[in-house]
Structure formats: C-alpha cells, structure tokens
Amino acid sequence: MTRIIGLTGGIGSGKSTVASYIASKGIPVYIADEEAKKLMDSKKISTKIQAIFSENILTIDGTLDRKKIAAIVFNSPEKLSKLNAIVHPEVKKHFRNWLNLHKKAPFIIKEVAILFETGGNLSCDKVILVTAPEEIRIQRAMKRDNVDRDSVLKRIQNQLPEEEKISKSDFVVHNIDLQNTFIEIDQILKILAKP
C-alpha cells in the first residue's frame, strides 16, 4: 500500500521549493493548493462559491477573483468555513483519484500549507515540516508576494504556531541554506524508501 507523506510549512518556509526538489527525484508529489485552485475554477464549483457571497466575486472573464475572496474571508470566519466546506471535499475526492494513479509508488508526497489546521496530518503515515526562523520567512514572503510586512504577519497569525507544528511532525527540515536543506531531504527520502 502506498504511504502518504505529508509535507507542510508556514508561509515563506520554502515548502514549495522542497516539493519541487522531491518531484525532480521522480517521486509523485500532490500540491493541494494548486489542485484546489484548478478545481475552484471549474464552472460547477465556482458557481457554488459565488452563491455564498452576496457581492460579485467573479472577474470580467468569469473566473474567481481570488484577491477579492481572500479579502472577504479573511474578515469573515463564517464565509471562510462555507468556502472550505465546498472546496475541501472536492480536493479530497480529487486526491483519492490521483492516489489511485500512483498506487504502485512506495510512497507519495502530499504538500498542504495548512495540513495540521485541517486535520490532514491524521491521514498521513509521516509528516515532514519545512521551517525557518520567522524573520527569514517574513522577508521571503514579502519578496515573493510583493506585500508588506503586516500582511505577512497576519497570515502567520492565522497559522498554527511553529512549536506546535514541530511537535506534531516526524521530520523537521530547517530551511535556511538550500544546499543543506536538499541534503536533509535526501536523507529523509532514504529513510522513507525503506519498506
């Protein structure tokens, strides 16, 4: 049976870089956020999402205006939970189908930004956490997303504290220097490759 290895990390930790590196080794990697975005853009799901918002959240070309949605749900836990109630089951179903395509692999990586926050870690055999000192994460996120410090800090506050994530993880990768990070990942992959 294929083992599910969760890969997670807070904003600016570098988990996407790590996911790409693992994928380059020929290991199947499922990027939950990317798949969620694709699913949300399907007509069936975008129509359901529009129904929970009183304001128009579609762009001129009919796709979801993600910035507008983010701004609304950021200040409305109720709308966020309604949005999640539509998107999460669809991603779960999509993942099951994807997993079926990779059932010959000894293990797969499932990259999820909010793995612990959604309880997704409970369906993983092991969890890899990518972390970095908060200041480095803030600088990376500001540069990557072209946003101010306050925006990044708000997003960090919405995520589980690092100490809690560390205590719930099987492997913790401190991503400060990329070369060392890749060496750590290679060691973890060797451990995971053992039956």
Every domain of the chain and the residues it spans: 1-28+105-195, 34-101
Chain segment 13-62, per-residue pLDDT in tens: 999 999 999 999 999 999 999 999 999 988 899 989 999 998 889 888 87
Give the confidence band of 70 by pLDDT, cuts at 50, 70, 90: confident
Please give the pLDDT value at position 77: 83
Please give the pLDDT value at position 90: 94
Top CATH class of 1-28+105-195 equals alpha beta
How would you label 161-179 residue by residue, b for 16+ Cβ within 10 Å and e otherwise? Answer: ebeebeeebbbbbebeeee
Please give the pLDDT value at position 194: 87
Give the confidence band of 176 by pLDDT, cuts at 50, 70, 90: very high
Annotated ligand binding at 168? The verdict is no
Give the confidence band of 67 by pLDDT, cuts at 50, 70, 90: confident
Chain segment 150-161, per-residue pLDDT in tens: 988 888 887 889
Please give the pLDDT value at position 118: 86
Annotated ligand binding at 16? The verdict is yes
Chain segment 73-121, per-residue pLDDT in tens: 878 889 988 998 999 899 999 999 999 999 999 999 999 998 998 899 9
Q: Which CATH architecture has domain 34-101?
A: 3-Layer(aba) Sandwich (3.40)
What percent of the chain is modeled with pLDDT above 90? 71
pLDDT at 12 over 80: yes
Annotated ligand binding at 14? The verdict is yes
Q: In what order do the strands lie in the sheet with 171-174?
A: 29-31, 107-111, 3-8, 126-131, 171-174
Q: Tell me how far apart the alpha carbons of residues 148 and 143 are, in angstroms, rounded to a whole number.
A: 9
Strands 107-111 and 3-8: parallel
Residues in the chain: 195
pLDDT at 195 over 80: no
Instruction: State mean pLDDT over 172-183.
Output: 96
Annotated ligand binding at 67? The verdict is no
